[in-house]
A = this chain, B = another copy of it.
Amino acid sequence: MTANLNIVPFVSVDHMMKLVLAIGVDQFLVDLADYIEEDFRRWELFDKTPRIASHSMDGVIELMPTSDGQLYGFKYVNGHPKNTREGLQTVTAFGVLADVGSGYPMLLSEMTILTALRTAATSAVAAKYLAPKDARCMAIIGNGAQSEFQAIAFKALLGVDRLRLYDIDAEASHRCAKNLAGFGFDIKICASAQEAVEGAEIITTVTADKRSATILTDNMVGWGVHINAVGGDCPGKTELHRDILLRSSIFVEYPPQTRIEGESQQLDADHPIIELWQVMTGKTAGRTNTRQITLFDSVGFAIEDFSALRYVRDQLQRTGLYGELDLLADPDEPRDLFGMLLRAEKAAVA
């Protein structure tokens, strides 16, 4: 990227928006899904660890590192549901990609927008393997910051073009519908979760409350649907009634994390769950019949962020949509950090 060892390319929020718009949201999601799928297919070679969380009364701050042996990536992300009441984002994030060989950072990027995109892309990749064939109608329960990204990802990857929206805040549903105007959806705003799931072949739940809620009860879920459960993603935060889980084939990213954070936290520790990467590589079956309820118990895993950072990194040279950060000390003589300081002093005096 640059010959200056001290410089790290930086993708700001402004650059990220320009990058997404230059590529097109739908194409960005399709391309990103390819990177995610590629990394899921080589799942076994990654260093994997559950995210490192620092919990407080109001929320959580997490670090999510992983490495494929060549590249190292991590994301900083917070989750503070109360933030929206103060005009702040529930989730903000940034991430870094680094070279394993030298340990030098290669990219610093905003990841608030990028996380929204990778979460939607991952959901759509999972649905590609799990949803009923030719599904076109999706319910989206919870119409906050993630909802439009989910809709566009499912349209771009699966051809879903009918949406049934529900949110306890009707204004959120109207905003979602308005934002999606021009993207070619047939949209119905519903008065209840019950109404939203009627006729839907895919049910996406993506609410933000930090508690054990029951967005879906067992009677609301018909045989054969695919549930894309995105909102339950930390201990004590779930969206589905446990009975739904007991009727479903459950697919997850990284079991040690999902069993703590996902809908699966409601299950016994030995309840069978299937790793999504094994479905993608053909090691395990995904959907096997039309009456099966498939459930993607999504919590978000570090490898998806790694894929997203890789994808962004690969767009930089072509688009020029990045800045340069003077983040790393680069003395003329690597062992002479103090001398660099002395020379800076002389340069300032001169």
Interface residues of A (CB under 8 A from B): 5-6, 10, 12-14, 17-18, 20-21, 25, 47, 49, 52, 54, 56, 58-61, 63, 65, 67, 69, 72, 74, 76, 78-80, 83-84, 86-90, 92, 94, 96, 98, 100-105, 110, 112-113, 116, 144-149, 172, 175-176, 179, 325-331, 333-342, 344-345, 348
The answer to whether B104 touches A25, judged by C-beta atoms less than 8 angstroms apart, is no
Q: Nearest B residue to A149 by beta-carbon distance?
A: B338
In the bound complex, do residue A172 and residue B335 qualify as a contact, i.e. CB atoms below 8 Å apart?
yes
Question: Please, which residues of chain B bring their CB within 8 A of the CB of A59?
Answer: 102-103
Tell me, in angstroms, the Cα distance from A342 to B24 when the chains sit together.
Answer: 11
Do B65 and A63 have beta carbons less than 8 Å apart? Answer: yes
CA distance A56 to B66 in the complex (A): 12
**In whole angstroms, what is the CA distance A329 to B20 when docked?**
14
Q: Which are the 7 A-B pairs with shortest beta-carbon distances?
A: A78-B103, A148-B338, A112-B329, A12-B326, A145-B337, A17-B344, A144-B335
Closest chain-B Cβ to A134's Cβ sits at a distance in Å of: 26
Cβ–Cβ contact B103 & A60, under 8 A: yes
In angstroms, how far is the closest chain B Cβ from the Cβ of A163? 14
13 contacts between A and B (CB under 8 A): A6-B13, A13-B327, A14-B344, A18-B344, A21-B344, A56-B67, A56-B101, A61-B65, A63-B63, A63-B74, A90-B334, A112-B337, A145-B334
Partner of A12, one of B18, B96, B327, B344: B327
In the bound complex, do residue A103 and residue B83 qualify as a contact, i.e. CB atoms below 8 Å apart? yes
Distance A78 CA – B172 CA, assembled complex (angstroms):
44
Task: Choose from B78, B113, B146 the contact partner of A329 (Cβ within 8 Å).
Answer: B113
* B17, A61: Cβ atoms closer than 8 Å: no
Find out whether the CB atom of A52 lies under 8 angstroms from the CB atom of B47.
no
Q: Which chain B residue has the least Cβ–Cβ distance from A91?
A: B103
With contacts A17-B341, A58-B100, A59-B103 known, what are 5 further pairs, Cβ within 8 A?
A: A20-B341, A21-B341, A76-B105, A89-B331, A110-B326
Task: Specify the chain B residue showing the minimal Cβ separation from A335.
Answer: B144
CB-based contact B5/A87 at 8 Å:
yes
Contact B92 A104 (CB under 8 A): yes
Number of copies: 2
Q: Is the CB of A88 within 8 A of B334?
A: yes
- Contact across chains for A21 and B348 when beta carbons are under 8 A apart: yes
Nearest-neighbour CB distance to chain B for A100, whole angstroms, equals 5
Evaluate contact between B92 and A328: CB separation under 8 angstroms. yes
The answer to whether A179 and B342 touch across the interface, beta carbons within 8 angstroms, is: yes
Inter-chain CA distance A49–B342, complex, in Å, is 36
In the bound complex, residues from chain B placing their C-beta under 8 Å from that of A179 are 336, 338-339, 342
- By the criterion CB–CB under 8 Å, are A175 and B339 in contact? yes
A328 with B110, Cβ < 8 A, contacts A5-B87, A145-B338 known: yes
Give bound CA distance, A83 to B5, whole Å: 12
The residue of chain B having its C-beta at the shortest distance from the C-beta of A25 within the complex is B341
Taking a contact as CB atoms under 8 Å apart, the answer to whether B76 and A96 are in contact is yes
* A89 engages B329 (CB within 8 Å): yes
Instruction: Assess the B78–A98 pair: CB atoms within 8 A.
Output: yes
Measured between C-beta atoms, what is the minimum distance from A178 to chain B in Å?
8
Q: Whole-angstrom distance between the alpha carbons of A329 and B12 in the complex?
A: 9
